[in-house]
């Protein structure tokens, strides 16, 4: 007889907070193509996202230090 054991998570009491409107990017159309496997890349200074555009191969690089409101 086998028993299923549920592993205890050390993060069960951690809750996130939503970003404020002045600290978030809006209206970015992320690509929906399945073969674009890496939709974004992030480092301490920049965020790069593959966007949906005609012709393909379009991406946007956004600085993390400066949030642009549109």
Q: What pTM did the predictor assign?
A: 0.56
Q: How far apart are CA 19 and CA 4, in angstroms?
A: 38
For the purposes of burial, counting CB atoms within 10 Å of the CB of 64, is it exposed (0-12), middle (13-18) or buried (19 or more)?
exposed
Q: Write down the pLDDT at residue 43.
A: 92
Alpha-carbon distances, residue 26 vs 8, 16, 30, 59 (angstroms)? 36, 19, 11, 15
| Count of Cβ atoms closer than 10 Å to residue 47 Cβ | 15
Give the tens place of pLDDT for each residue, 20-62.
887 777 787 777 776 656 778 899 999 898 888 777 678 889 8
Instruction: Spell out the domain ranges in the chain.
Output: 21-63
Query: 28 versus 6: which is more confidently predicted?
Result: 28
For the segment 6-11, the average pLDDT, to the nearest whole number, is 76
């Amino acid at each position: 007889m086998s028993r299923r054991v549920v592993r205890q998570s050390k993060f069960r009491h951690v809750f996130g907070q939503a970003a404020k409107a002045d600290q978030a990017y809006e209206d970015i159309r992320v690509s929906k193509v399945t073969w674009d496997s890496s939709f974004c890349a992030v480092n301490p200074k920049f965020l790069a996202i593959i966007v949906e555009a005609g012709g393909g191969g379009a991406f946007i690089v956004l600085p993390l230090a400066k949030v642009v409101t549109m």
